[in-house]
A = this chain, B = another copy of it.
């Protein structure tokens, strides 16, 4: 800035102002400064800016998995809103381990983010402490808690699973099975679905769970396991559309009719859910709305509104298509 200023015949401070508050600089000096910037190829140093202003314009986001479209699409929506206000996202993949998450939180906080987004409402004690000490807005997404660290935006996994169980019972299915992949929230849904369905139908619900992440192959294996366990002629509640899709493929390979021989309910309503054969009945979670709502609450905190609603339930919908 010193160099640019010298070239434009002004001081370093004026250059700084020209960049951050152009309205406070005369149009003529502004012109000369921009010309000097162009000639020198000057790129402002955001690090120094952050140190001086105590605002990094960085928001850190921690998700279990980047390659899981479920989180990726939520982050995309979040990112878009934040970027429109000049914030950049520092994204990390934590896996599903709370200890790892704690380490990531420490690393992220060292960069002094202006806000933090976390996935889920369960965090280590030390993590909570660090986040509170950082005294920046913290948003927990993808779940609901009555005692968030700061703000939470999500939906109730238990209620969603119960709604699916009600749907299955009302659709006339007498028997049900659950298929879930390795993630705590998925298992909570499985549990809630099973309890609720068993209560209303009186029939035991067969379960299969993978420790591994959800894949199409696991969906296929999952249906095989359920059939081996004696399940037949009922509905399979899957913890993700990907697993549900695998069930569809396996059913097809075995010559089982869907939903005649086996019905399928997915979770998430991914973009392919409506395109598979038969189209997937699923629980829709509006991930874009979730990411957007998370961004909005953070931004309103930045505007100084301390009294933001701190528990936002974005709900869910059961989307009935052909598979169940």
Contacts and interface: CB of A to CB of B under 8 A. Distances in A.
Interface string A172-193: 0000000000000000000000
Q: Is the interface of A mostly helix, strand, loop or mixed?
A: helix
B67 A93 contact: no
Nearest to A250: B277
Interface string A264-308: 000000011011110000000000000000000000000000000
Interface in A97-136: 106-107, 109-112, 129-130, 133-134
A252 B255 CA distance: 13
Contacts of A106: 43
B72 A88 contact: no
A256 interface: no
Contacts of A72: 66-67, 72
A129 B47 contact: no
Contacts of A253: 277
A205 to B, nearest CB: 25
A19 to B, nearest CB: 10
A220 interface: yes
A48 B48 CA distance: 8
A246 interface: yes
Interface stretch (A27-35, A73-81, A232-240): A73-81
Contact of A111 (B88, B109, B110, B277): B88
A50 interface: yes
Interface in A8-51: 41, 43-48, 50-51
Contacts of A107: 88
Nearest to A86: B107
Contacts of A46: 110-112
Contacts of A244: none
Nearest to A274: B217
Contact of A216 (B43, B93, B276): B276
Contact of A91 (B56, B73, B91): B91
A153 interface: no
Interface string A160-174: 000000000000000
Interface of A: 41, 43-48, 50-51, 56, 66-67, 69, 72-73, 75-76, 79, 88-93, 106-107, 109-112, 129-130, 133-134, 215-217, 220, 246, 249, 252-253, 271-272, 274-277
